[in-house]
Amino acid sequence: MGANKKVYLVDESGERMCGLDVIEGTEGPPVIDIQKLYKETGYFTYDPGFTSTASCVSALTYIDGENGILRHGGYAIEELAEQSTFLEVSYLLLKGELPTLEEKRDFEDMVLQHTMLHDQLQNFFRGFRRDAHPMSLLIGATGALSSFYHDSINVNDERSREISTYRVLAKMPTIAAMAFKYTKGEPFTYPDNGLGYVENFQKMCFGLPVEEYKFIPESVKALEQIFILHADHEQNASTSTVRTAGSSEANPFGCVAAGISSLWGPAHGGANEAVLKMLDEIGTSSRIKEYIEKAKDKDDNFRLMGFGHRVYKNYDPRASILKGTCKEVLGALGKDKEDLFVLAQELERIALEDEYFVDRKLFPNVDFYSGIILKAMGYPTSMFTVLFAVARCVGWIAQWNEMMRDSDRRISRPRQLYTGERLRSFVSIEERK
């Protein structure tokens, strides 16, 4: 990474105001380094939503939105989804390389050592209402981890960060499954370290103490793939939240809890739950046109959930993969003629023929099909974003580690364009009209 050319800011008369370095990365758009802009010109930049702003340097994930490309460590998401496991992809995100057989075994063993929670955390769950949204339990329990693991919250110590990383990766499935069990009124199922990461999670979610849990291979494979597809995604809203929280040197469990809160929003990770609610509301193909018109109506705040993306102006590669998986899993579960799946495909077909969506490059995103698969697996819509969080926590903690190792790390503190009142004198309450 180096600056090999400059651009110049000039005023209306053509007078040069300052020269700014252009920095090239490995791939993707170069950046203009504006760190000295205010000092040299007295100007801030303005970019709400950061559509044109790079907030950091990162080597974990590369997205080319125009061409529907997603890579982790240089590997195409299509190959990772088809040929690797979630823990292999987790290793890749954390270490920068795919593991050898021995490295994979050691990594899996380390994760397995941290799957259990401090038993007192069960009391924490019991303080919640049974009908609480599982995301609220996930936020609370994850933040509470920092009250149990004081030995690994020294964020400036590499070994502490490593232990916290394993704890987040290993405990998130346990917390998520406990949140699910608690809302169902079923007893918690302890982790079974004789199982793989995904099987363990499925058994903790659906296993019962009164019978042996039977796995459905297609369902395990599909969930493994869903976890891989949701692992990391550059500087999305929740990842940026984790980085911002971590920039103040807050503990990693609190940072991840902040990320879960951001992910919960329907414009972000909550969209998979919102897609199912939207499909349920549409109900039949005959009503699709009505909802397409609502989505296009500027006076109606309804948007087509699962469509559009800040970065992808082409098909989200994850959506393409999940559409195929959806067919496979529903077929294996005998649900491929499900009204929901048929309706979703018809909605996609009609939307992609409509110039409003075509002109704005609004294609299905990762959330459009994931919910249908999860519903077929037996998860309620309230658990969809929880599963997204279980997968994304490795991306959050990998990005947090990358930031904590970055020698250029500084506390995030954006400026603003002030549009409030100028100086005025205080008026006592007796004189106010």
- How many residues of this chain bind ligand SDX (CB under 6 A)? 21
Question: Which one of residues 310, 313, 327, 409 is an interface residue with ligand SDX (CB under 6 A)?
Answer: 310
Least distance to ligand SDX, CB of residue 339, Å: 21
Nearer to ligand SDX, 125 or 227 (CB): 227
Residues in 345-364 at the binding interface with ligand SDX, rule: CB under 6 A: 360, 362
Least distance to ligand SDX, CB of residue 367, Å: 5
Q: Cα–chain-centroid distance for residue 388?
A: 7
The contact pattern for ligand SDX, residues 226-245, with x = CB under 6 A and - = no contact, is -------x--x---------
Least distance to ligand SDX, CB of residue 314, Å: 13
Among 388, 108, 189, smallest CA distance to 270 is for: 388
Residue 309 is among the residues annotated as catalytic for this protein: yes
Taking the C-alpha atoms of residue 221 and residue 318, their distance in angstroms, rounded to an integer, is 15
Choose the stretch contacting ligand SDX; rule: CB under 6 A; options: 52-60, 138-146, 305-313, 407-415: 305-313
Nearer to ligand SDX, 252 or 269 (CB): 269
Examine residue 308 and tell whether it contacts ligand SDX (CB under 6 A).
Answer: yes
Least distance to ligand SDX, CB of residue 421, Å: 30
Q: Are 269 and 275 in contact (CB under 8 A)?
A: no
- The number of residues making up the chain comes to 433
Q: Are 176 and 206 in contact (CB under 8 A)?
A: no
The active-site residue out of 114, 230, 309, 316 is: 309
Nearer to ligand SDX, 44 or 302 (CB): 302
**Complete DSSP assignment for 12-36:** TTS-EEEEEEEEE-SSS--EE--TT
For 175, the enclosing helix (H) or strand (E) is helix 158-184
Examine residue 108 and tell whether it contacts ligand SDX (CB under 6 A).
Answer: no
Choose the stretch contacting ligand SDX; rule: CB under 6 A; options: 10-18, 31-39, 247-255, 265-273: 265-273
Residues in 53-82 at the binding interface with ligand SDX, rule: CB under 6 A: none
Query: Using CB atoms, what's the residue nearest to ligand SDX?
Result: 308
Examine residue 259 and tell whether it contacts ligand SDX (CB under 6 A).
Answer: no
Residue 72 is among the residues annotated as catalytic for this protein: no
The active-site residue out of 72, 230, 233, 367 is: 367
Least distance to ligand SDX, CB of residue 129, Å: 27
Taking the C-alpha atoms of residue 296 and residue 69, their distance in angstroms, rounded to an integer, is 27
Residue 428 class from Cβ within 10 Å (0-12 exposed, 13-18 middle, 19+ buried)? exposed
Question: Which one of residues 95, 104, 268, 313 is an interface residue with ligand SDX (CB under 6 A)?
Answer: 268
Taking the C-alpha atoms of residue 99 and residue 21, their distance in angstroms, rounded to an integer, is 37
Token reading at 259? 């990320």
Taking the C-alpha atoms of residue 188 and residue 174, their distance in angstroms, rounded to an integer, is 9
Choose the stretch contacting ligand SDX; rule: CB under 6 A; options: 100-108, 169-177, 263-271, 413-421: 263-271
Among 151, 163, 176, smallest CA distance to 113 is for: 163
Under 8 Å CB-to-CB from 242, ≥6 apart: which residues?
Answer: 255, 256, 258, 259, 396, 397, 399, 400
Nearer to ligand SDX, 254 or 306 (CB): 306
Examine residue 313 and tell whether it contacts ligand SDX (CB under 6 A).
Answer: no
Taking the C-alpha atoms of residue 329 and residue 306, their distance in angstroms, rounded to an integer, is 20
Nearer to ligand SDX, 153 or 366 (CB): 366
Least distance to ligand SDX, CB of residue 404, Å: 21
From residue 332, give the alpha-carbon distance in Å to each of 85, 121, 205, 323, 380. 21, 37, 20, 14, 19
Residues with catalytic annotation?
A: 309, 367
Q: Which residues bind ligand SDX (CB under 6 A)?
A: 49, 233, 236, 267-269, 271, 295, 303-310, 360, 362, 365-367
